[in-house]
Amino acid sequence: MSYRIKQFLWAISANFKELDYSYVISILNDYEFSLFKRLKKGEQLHSIKVSKDCVNLAKRKGINLEE
C-alpha cells in the first residue's frame, strides 16, 4: 500500500522535476534519445532513476560497465 502512495506522489511531482538530459544523452544514441523523448515525463524520470540506481549498484559490486 505505501508503495502505491509513493508511486502516486512520484507521478504527481514528476511535472515539477528537472530532467537530467545530459546524463541521458551520454548513454543513448540519437535514435534512442528520440524514442526516450516520446515517453511521458514521469516515465523519463523513472528511467533515469533506474539507470542511475543500476550504475551505482554495479559500482558497489565492482562491475565494470565500460566493456
Taking the chain (67 residues) in runs of 10, the rounded mean pLDDT of each run is 77 73 94 96 90 94 84
pLDDT, position 66: 79
Helix or strand (DSSP H, E) at 33: helix 30-37
CA distance 63 to 46: 23
CA distance 3 to 52: 20
Instruction: Give pTM, 2 decimals.
Output: 0.74
For residue 57, is it within any domain?
Answer: yes
pLDDT, position 41: 87
Which range marks the domain in which residue 45 is found? 2-61
Cα first-last separation, the chain? 40
pLDDT, position 27: 93
Look at residues 45, 51, 50 and name the one whose alpha carbon lies nearest to residue 17: 45
- Total domains in the chain come to 1
For residue 66, is it within any domain?
Answer: no
Q: What angle do CA 28, 12, 45 make, to 5 degrees?
A: 10
